[in-house]
Structure formats: C-alpha cells, structure tokens
Amino acid sequence: MSTEELGSVLLVLARNAIARRLGLPEAPAPDTDLPELDRPGATFVTLTQQGELRGCIGSLEAHRPLRDDVRENALAAAFRDPRFPPLERKELALSRVEVSLLTAPQPMPVADEADALARICPGVDGLIFQVGHLRATFLPQVWEQLPTPRQFLCHLKMKAGLPADFWSPGVRLSRYGVQKWKEPQA
C-alpha cells in the first residue's frame, strides 16, 4: 500500500472516531483490512480550526495497533487536550484533522545546550525533552512557528514547565521523524 493510501485511511479512522463519539454520521469506512493497521504504531492527531490549534494528543512510542492508536489519539485530541474544552458537535465540520505517524525515538546524547542546539535539525526533527519526571515533545511541524533551534528548544522547555533558559546535565533529548497527512481545506 502506498503512503498516500495509508494516510487517507488514517485520516478517515481519526475523523470517524470523533464523529462516532459525537453521534454524527461517519464517512464511508475505508479498507481497514490492511496489515499496516494491525502493526504497532505511534501517532499524534492534531485538530485545527482556521489554521489555529484546537487539540493535539499522541503517543511517542508504538504500544498498540496503529488503527487503535490513531482512534484513541483522535478522541484524546478532541475531548481530553487540557488546553481546550471538549470539542462540540458543531465544531467537527469546522475542524481539520492531521495524523502524524512517528518513527521510533532515537536518543540524542549531548554535552550541553550549545551541543544540542548545533545538532537539532530544523524542519526535520521532532524532539523529546526530558529531565527528571518532566517531559515534553514538539512534532517537526512546530518548526513552522518556531524556526530556529534556540526558539524551538526554549519553547519545548517551557512546555515541560521549566524556564526557557533552563539546562542541567540530567537533560535527555531524543529525536524522531514523522510521516504526516492532513485533510484538505474545507
């Protein structure tokens, strides 16, 4: 199966999961008898309205079948993102769904923050920042709003609940890539 076909199926699975929860009609079911959907996969589902974020939740590691991961993350993005109230029925038609399929995160050992800034690949890397029990991630798409490594890393630290200038020898970074698919504009 092509990546375009996989993306189309994942987008329909995500939207249909939300529609079902809201009691709205679902799109015709795609061919969900594809072996890729039964393999473990890690996804993020992002909802936007008029280009503005409306919800984004996902999995950093593949721990369940891809079909289940995308459905659960679609529901979480629509109804459990703590930054937004739960999606209402009238909003689904206004929402654009994007699905990102993550590669396995790879540890990125760094000597210090300067080393991290030099090694991050703008526009390519998704990044996981972890220190102690605090953890945050940005998908590669976030580079569109935060185009420099310094901006990207500073905002990621703030997302983890830390000051933008925080650094510690205990910081652990991991990077990952994504394949992404987005519904066309309404």
- Tens of pLDDT along 146-183? 999 999 999 999 999 999 999 999 999 999 999 999 99
What range defines the domain where residue 153 resides?
106-177
Q: What is the pLDDT of residue 10?
A: 96
d(CA 63, CA 66): 9
Q: 43-60: per-residue pLDDT in tens? A: 999 999 999 999 999 999
**Residue 98 and residue 74 share a domain:** yes
Residue 185 falls within a domain, yes or no?
A: no
d(CA 39, CA 61): 13
More confident residue, 140 or 29: 140
d(CA 23, CA 17): 10
Number of structural domains (the chain) is 2
Last residue of a domain, one of 83, 102, 121: 102
Q: Annotate 60-98 with b (16+ C-beta within 10 A) or e (fewer).
A: bebeeebbbbbbbbbbbbbbebeeeeebeeebbeebbbb
Per-residue pLDDT at 18 exceeds 90? yes
Q: 96-121: per-residue pLDDT in tens? A: 999 999 999 999 999 999 999 999 99
**Residue 64 and residue 131 share a domain:** no
d(CA 15, CA 169): 42
